[in-house]
Structure 1
Amino acid sequence: MHPAAHSLHPELDATALTAFATALETGETGRLAPARAAEVGAVRAAAVFSRGKVTGADGDLLDAALWRHTGSGARPVVVMPAPWTDLGWPAYAVQASRFAVRGYDVIAYSPRGFAASEGQSDLAGPLDVTDGRHALDHLLERAAGPVSRIGVLGLSYGAGIAQLVAAHDARVDAVAALSGWGDLGEVLGENATRRTAAVHALLTASPRARLSRPAERVLENVLARRDDRETRTWAELRSPLTYVKELGRRRVPVFCAHAWHETLFPAGQVLRMFQELTGPKRIDLSIGDHAGPESSGLPGLPNRVWTDAHRWFDRHLLDLDNGVDEEGQVLCEVMWSRALEPSPTWPPPTRLTRRLYLTGTGDLTGEPDPGWAAGVVCGIDTPVTVADAIVRSGYEELAGRPRRHPDAAAMDRTAAAVWTAAPAADTTRLRGTPRLRVTYRAANSGSTFVAHLLDLAPDGSARLITHAPFSDLDSPPDSLISADIDLQPTAYDLPPGHRPMLALTARDPFYADANLPRATLSFTSPEPTPSYVELPLG
């Protein structure tokens, strides 16, 4: 779960992208595939490519590349802060070139502390925001003619920076955030549960990155469970959600893209920010994990998300009437049919919400069943987990191989409390955010459980639909604790004959565990507040 070095972008072909960037500068395309060589020719015929340095905050020099047109007419510009990778701005070499061919001036740069940029990473803090504004200044000073409109686009780490720059710089007219975050606090901890696998990934994903000591300290604090107040304050300053009203006040058009089973930046916090945006907005939600849906577009392969990002800027920066206004605010890729469903809003319109009560017989039914108890021993691994490996599990999903739990129906009931509903005669369309209310008794102060909602097949195997953790850190021993939580949002088709299955485990290696080893959590359902799971049905 926590390798010594871990890429957030495992499919990133650094060699091919570096070769493309070199060919843009030299014009020598012999090492490129014919399609990429043709793109280099088109770029060099339309614009001037050059490498350079942007003077960022505190005088640190940031490695950058510019695509500039020589004509004196007005044109839009795009600023592209790079993702969390040692490669830096060449990750965008192909996509920035495509913007340039369409008439945009572009600057792509490596954020401070990464690749050939100086300084230390502020982890999307004030220094990074200032750097983004300086990158825009750098491009504007070198534009041959007037600038009509300004966009900021980023992937992963660059997406967080892009949104923050757009919120702080009134010159920005549109933003595209691909696999970014809305609330960094929820990235670090969800329902009082520290997301330790995600923090380990950030610390190890870019081995040559130079993090500032304050950034390192906050991430270390999350792993060590200390200084929660400092962490919250630090994360709030770096959360686009904090500045969402400014984006709304200026009605900045915002395009987002995200994956359902995102293990680094969970989808729920992004969708909550999306709901609060009041200007033009759109979100593409796809099968996969962090940056996976966009990955094939980086080297130039056909890619729906990148196509939609270009269309978004064409509409709001070039003022093209390309149909974007008539499309819904939400485009969902459904698990596992891969069907694309447009929706006018998030959450999508639901036919009804089905409430299934947890019972003493292990069934999910339509009637409450108070008074039972189901004990779970802490510290025991189960076959059902959030993911095999952060980020990489989602690439298996992209390839059409979602993780299958072959023995889910026979799971050890001392390590998991399990409930199943009756099989459905027709396809069950889950669309939205499932909710869980459950009461449990913890023998010790400090407790954690993880709720897994699964698709149980007739052969006893299961696949994960969605999940959420929950921790209580303050109740005294032997307290009754009420957990009322949202699971991560989903768009999932449960086939006929399959059953919803809820598994509550006291341990998942993806999260920190506040339980004492061999302690017991006893789940129950008091008569005044019965335990249930609610499923939003499309």
Structure 2
Amino acid sequence: MGHPRHPRRALRTTTVGAVSATLIAGAALGLAPAAQAAPGPGVRFVDISGAGGTVLKANVVAPSDTSRRYPVVVLPTSWAVPQIEYLAQAKQLADSGYVVVSYNSRGFWQSGGEIEVGGPEDIEDASKVIDWALANTQADPDKVGMAGVSYGAGISLLAAGHDKRIKAVAALSGWGDLIDSIYSGRTQHFQAAALLSGAGYLTGRPSPELQQVMKDFLGSNLAKEDDMIAWGKKRSPDTYIDSINKNGAAILLGNAWGDTIFPPNQYADFYEKLTTPKRLEFRPGDHATAEATGLLGLPNDTWEDTHRWFDHYLKGDDNGVDRELPVRIKSRSTGAYESYPDWKSVGATKKKIALAGTTTIHTNVDSGANGGLLELSNILDQFLRLPPTASVPLLPRRWAGVWQSEKYTSEQHVRGTAKLHTTLTPTKESGTLVAYLYDVGPLGLGKLVSNAPYTFHGKTPGAPFGVDLELFSTAYDVPAGHRLALVVDTVDPLYIEHNPTGAQLTFSSPKDDPSYVSIPLREQ
């Protein structure tokens, strides 16, 4: 495969670049009130020497009483966000008895170096900041924690696998597996990658290695696929799971159901591999939106649980967080919380929708079913419960395959990960499909429940093969009188597709291997 063929992708890149600038400017302006209120006694802006002597711009917020030692929390900044990001939370933590050191991740804003995306330099930076805090503040060397949103979350998890001093981590909207995040289904998550790349150029200095990786990734240079995967694995906490477990830090993972950069599935998989004290929380929203209000100092469930986590595992408070069921999820439909003993108990009941018959669709045209726009669509779902929609009866069957369940006589509580199993026969050796699960009301309007992409290469045209695809995990209630519909098409603005011009995809359901979508349901 060569570079993407579609000229509209150049327009998409420009659009996402503009979105990048808007988000970054919004973050800086939105945090300005916290920054203006912060300077004063107890707040210092400092330079810290990171890996190789690179200067990291940082700030320190500490209790005014310097007569004793305090637990310390280190906060690496999110991708493209300046060092004022955590000041509101840092002041709250300091007021409750913590030393807090936040630093601008290398390569961004005034910090030196280049953007390495959780590379060895970033991991060493985290340890250097801990060294500095222990030498220059009232930080207790036996009570070290790390936390962060997005990029800061990934760095915190990576550091926990390399620095035994870290006793507790709160990793919010982060990644366990970088490849399974923006390359799940072996499909490039176009808007996510373009947003990260554009924001990196706007606010920092991408390393030559990162520039090449993103060029190959967005340019569909499959000859470099193995190199890209190796690069991502080196930067995935999942790669260091044994060291993380051995070091024993208590780990809180928080994410949003609709995270279009780091989807929930990969975080749930990472959580299951942890043997340390652990907690997993999922809420409605998109990337980093579940934590956003807390960064402005407003009440926020995610940050409140983060404080409780540190209070127990760093301060030793008996606040009960260790005795609560460790998997805590919030329904997209009702906003109610549910708790489970482990991830596999979420959606423990499975109900299959048969995908009977043979359906052929043509490629290269967007049927109208899609996953929405990065950030915007899932923010609307988070605050207004308005997910992306499609009129399922009007979807053109030339370009979309549609299968529906029976009409449900009672409410269905979808929880966890829906799974598609089917037999696919392509007319070309490469191709991309995107599966969508819709909640379809009496008038045929479908509300998006979940979706996921799938790409294949090197297949024999005309030869059938099996496809198993996990849709992105969710918590959604389907009302009585509605149906669930599985829709499959081949073009979605969120992803880069690999369908040659004129290709067709045929879905069948052999008697000895029937096709279905498995729906995970909460036990009634």
TM range (shorter): over 0.9
Change in CA separation of 1:406 and 1:522 when aligned onto 2, cut-off 3 Å:
closer
Secondary structure of the structure 2 residue equivalent to 1:331:
strand
What's 1:250 paired with? 247
What's 2:275 paired with? 278
Q: CA deviation at 1:282?
A: 0.8
RMSD: 1.7
Change in CA separation of 1:259 and 1:20 when aligned onto 2, cut-off 3 Å:
closer
Secondary structure of the structure 2 residue equivalent to 1:390:
coil
- Kindly, what percent of the aligned residue pairs are identical? 33
What's 2:408 paired with? 424
**Within-5 A mapping of 1:199-238:** 199-206=193-200, 207-226=202-221, 227-238=224-235
Q: CA deviation at 1:139?
A: 0.9
Cα deviation 1:88-144 (Å, max 9, x = unaligned): 120101001111111111100000111111111111111111111111111111123
What's 2:4 paired with? none
What's 1:94 paired with? 88
Q: CA deviation at 1:145?
A: 6.4
What's 2:362 paired with? 377
Q: CA deviation at 1:195?
A: 1.7
What's 2:67 paired with? 72
What's 1:15 paired with? 29
Give, in whole Å, the separation in 2 of the partners of 1:136 and 1:436.
45
Task: Select 1:478's aligned residue among 437, 462, 471.
Answer: 462
* Aligned-partner residue type, residue 174 of structure 2: G
Cα deviation 1:25-66 (Å, max 9, x = unaligned): 2x4xxxxxxxxxxxxxxxx4xxx2110111111221111001
**Within-5 A mapping of 1:338-487:** 338-350=335-347, 352-360=349-357, 373-387=358-372, 389-487=373-471
Give, in whole Å, the separation in 2 of the partners of 1:194 and 1:272.
20
Cα deviation 1:354-402 (Å, max 9, x = unaligned): 1221113xxxxxxxxxxxx211110011221112x21222211222142
Change in CA separation of 1:351 and 1:446 when aligned onto 2, cut-off 3 Å:
closer
Indicate if the aligned counterparts of 1:177 and 1:256 stay in contact, CA closer than 8 A: yes
* Aligned-partner residue type, residue 17 of structure 1: L
Q: CA deviation at 1:159?
A: 0.6
Change in CA separation of 1:419 and 1:310 when aligned onto 2, cut-off 3 Å:
same
* Aligned-partner residue type, residue 18 of structure 2: A
What's 1:298 paired with? 295
Give, in whole Å, the separation in 2 of the partners of 1:320 and 1:146.
16
Change in CA separation of 1:437 and 1:406 when aligned onto 2, cut-off 3 Å:
closer
Change in CA separation of 1:146 and 1:406 when aligned onto 2, cut-off 3 Å:
closer
Give, in whole Å, the separation in 2 of the partners of 1:254 and 1:275.
12
Secondary structure of the structure 2 residue equivalent to 1:517:
coil
Change in CA separation of 1:430 and 1:10 when aligned onto 2, cut-off 3 Å:
farther
Q: Does 1:144 align with 2:138?
A: yes
Change in CA separation of 1:517 and 1:96 when aligned onto 2, cut-off 3 Å:
same
Q: Does 1:241 align with 2:241?
A: no
Indicate if the aligned counterparts of 2:333 and 2:385 stay in contact, CA closer than 8 A: no
What's 1:5 paired with? 18
Q: CA deviation at 1:251?
A: 2.4
Q: CA deviation at 1:318?
A: 0.6
Indicate if the aligned counterparts of 1:166 and 1:175 stay in contact, CA closer than 8 A: yes
Give, in whole Å, the separation in 1 of the partners of 2:347 and 2:389.
29
Secondary structure of the structure 2 residue equivalent to 1:169:
coil
Indicate if the aligned counterparts of 2:38 and 2:88 stay in contact, CA closer than 8 A: no
Indicate if the aligned counterparts of 2:333 and 2:477 stay in contact, CA closer than 8 A: yes
What's 2:3 paired with? none
What's 2:188 paired with? 194
What's 1:329 paired with? 326
What's 2:108 paired with? 114
Q: Does 1:153 align with 2:147?
A: yes
Give, in whole Å, the separation in 2 of the partners of 1:84 and 1:470.
27
Indicate if the aligned counterparts of 1:315 and 1:321 stay in contact, CA closer than 8 A: yes
* Aligned-partner residue type, residue 379 of structure 1: N
Give, in whole Å, the separation in 1 of the partners of 2:26 and 2:156.
20
TM-score of the two chains, using structure 1 as the length reference: 0.90
Indicate if the aligned counterparts of 1:160 and 1:177 stay in contact, CA closer than 8 A: yes
Q: Does 1:510 align with 2:494?
A: yes
Indicate if the aligned counterparts of 2:411 and 2:478 stay in contact, CA closer than 8 A: yes
Secondary structure of the structure 2 residue equivalent to 1:293:
coil
Give, in whole Å, the separation in 1 of the partners of 2:461 and 2:162.
46
Give, in whole Å, the separation in 1 of the partners of 2:347 and 2:173.
26
Change in CA separation of 1:405 and 1:18 when aligned onto 2, cut-off 3 Å:
closer
Q: Which moved more, 1:464-473 or 1:346-355?
A: 346-355
Give, in whole Å, the separation in 2 of the partners of 1:13 and 1:351.
39
Change in CA separation of 1:497 and 1:348 when aligned onto 2, cut-off 3 Å:
same
Indicate if the aligned counterparts of 1:417 and 1:505 stay in contact, CA closer than 8 A: yes
Give, in whole Å, the separation in 1 of the partners of 2:30 and 2:411.
43
Q: CA deviation at 1:19?
A: 4.5
Indicate if the aligned counterparts of 2:182 and 2:193 stay in contact, CA closer than 8 A: yes
